[in-house]
Amino acid sequence: MKNTNRTVQGHFLHATLKYPILMLLILSLGRAESAQNLGLCTSVETRFFSCATNKSKQINLCGTSSGDLQYRFGRVGKTVFSYPANATEGKDRFLFSRYSRFQTERIEVSFRNADVDYILFDYTENGQRQAGIRLSAGYSKESTISCTANIHSKLIELKPVLRCDADNALNGGKCP
């Protein structure tokens, strides 16, 4: 029986020696792609949410399953806003809301900073998806930054970690 693993390794070694620049290019493309896939999160963090906006900015929620959590907004390599300053405070600063029924799921993770309410949302209804961040300062000013591409969400994994937002209509006015 032929050892295919050795054959593959042999071909890789041969290609590396024969075409070193090509192999370096292939390897560097993989690293660049994975760095871009992380968005504003680091390689040791879980990317609970990320997407691109129409102005080439990123909306990200990065953290760990133990509750370290930080919202980040900006371009890859340049975060222009993050909250909270210390990710270890994240579990106590964010609230979780969820509503689901047949062909509908709405998840929100919210926080308040400097009299501005931030609601990170991921809604799916009848196969249509909307996601982004909604900001409101009082009753008169509200703004939404919508995701336009590359929506990645694991927000549901934060349900057991974050406090339930009893005031959010998605939770039906109650928390378990």
* pLDDT tens per residue across span 22-49: 333 333 333 333 444 678 999 999 999 9
Backbone angles phi, psi at 159, to 5 degrees: -55, -45
Residues 92 and 157 both lie in one domain: yes
At residue 10 the predicted structure's pLDDT band, cuts being 50, 70 and 90, is: very low
Residues 25 and 89 both lie in one domain: no
Q: pLDDT value at position 37?
A: 64
Residues 73 and 14 both lie in one domain: no
